[in-house]
Structure 1
């Protein structure tokens, strides 16, 4: 690494250290070591240099394979999703990767898989948005980093569906929109979310609009397990909304979606 680049990376590293100190996180050292390795810091510098990122803020969420941070973009706040390379495992990725034609020519090294997974999430979000599904807008990807639209207010992300207070009247339109989005993914985007539940949907509390998130695992309909994933998504949603006396039949919905898709072909 050139001396000038090293100094810039060190600057980012110092900002990360300060950000970590602001977070009262007893596991901060572990998170730093797992997320902000030298290669990731260099990628963050590249993103800064290209104008995609001005500063990194606090943590938004920590998942099995990635951490999401609040960031400052050129004109607005952004979400920075960083897939962990050193600590990631393929246990939760493998069933989505095997059979996905987009991974056919990818080497099976952990780093290459994660880079491809990050690009896949970018493409999935783009396809979903083009199909009319409300998702975070994908802005850019670099190695194991995905920059997206930040969805929230006052530097706080919108709440998950599971954390929103609902009643029968407010739950029904959300349910209808979620089902509509599942259909749009299937019919127009040729995609299945693959891990849809109340944990992967956020809600704008002002408009009560549901928004699909975490689409790295989403597969095309050519995937051998696409139907299985789709049915699981539908059943998860119907299970959640059943508490509000909203009933639905997964097989009936699937048949309707399949018929619509066949007519549109």
Structure 2
């Protein structure tokens, strides 16, 4: 096992330390996210031809880092959940009650794997429903590989928090159309929809971070939906939108914070 870990560590460090492409100014990859389990997982993914290079950080969240991966001439987003710092109580809250995950998981490694699998399955469901989300590529243990959202030079798109839309109302209208499909076609509720979790890619919204998203029949779905509506209303009002909460609810097929109808 020690030899296996040492080889994984050596091979992944080679992947990480290869020469960056000219003009790349991404933040340096922090070594704190590469524990033994993660190193072995990345080694397996590289061995399965999903990755050639890890090329710097795209973003750092409370529980996960998103790195830029390269395979051939293609860029990918590589999301790595940090086992040591993840909020397992929160994860249990969103996993428990999801009909796709019947058993409450107390083992940290198993819960992280279930959490990553949950995000992957949510993205599959959303992508099939033609919601504008990153296409899921694969997942393994605490690592998720996604479609890269950015330009051909490898510059990642920014979230609305850091790149205000040129036409706020038009952007919000497009986002509400995506949210309608999110709820009524994919039958999911995001649960953390805000300017932090919507990317502005060429003035079009791309919804991200769907690990906590729950099915519409989950007991906490309406509670999360009300929170999403409140976030959208408050965030976009600060950006200059004049749309009311009632108009937002109508646009996404909701009344008084409750889903009016879902396709069977």
- Same-fold call, TM cutoff 0.5: yes
Q: Over residues 27-77 of structure 1, what are the superposed CA-to-partner deviations in whole Å (9 max), with x where a residue is unaligned?
A: x7xx423x1111111111111111111111101111111110001024410
Q: Which stretch shifts more, 53-62 or 7-16? A: 7-16
Structure 1 stretches lacking a partner, 5+ long: none
Count residues with an aligned counterpart.
Answer: 253
Which structure carries more helix by proportion?
Answer: 1
Matched, 1:199 2:199: no
Distance 1:2 1:118 in 2: 26
Using the size of structure 2 for normalisation, the TM-score is 0.86
Is residue 52–residue 74 contact of structure 1 (8 Å, CA) maintained in 2? no
Alignment of 1:1-265 (within 5 A): 1=1, 3=3, 6-16=6-16, 31-33=30-32, 35-153=33-151, 154-166=153-165, 170-205=167-202, 208-242=203-237, 243-249=240-246, 252=250, 253-255=253-255, 258-261=259-262, 264-265=263-264
Distance 2:156 2:173 in 1: 23
Distance 1:180 1:244 in 2: 16
Structure 2 stretches lacking a partner, 5+ long: 20-24
Aligned-CA RMSD value: 2.5
Q: Which stretch shifts more, 96-105 or 139-148? A: 96-105
Is residue 27–residue 58 contact of structure 2 (8 Å, CA) maintained in 1? no
Deviant stretches of 4+, over 4 Å = 2-5, 22-25, 250-253
Is residue 5–residue 36 contact of structure 2 (8 Å, CA) maintained in 1? no
Distance 2:26 2:254 in 1: 44
Distance 1:102 1:15 in 2: 35
Distance 1:235 1:171 in 2: 17
Distance 2:214 2:130 in 1: 17
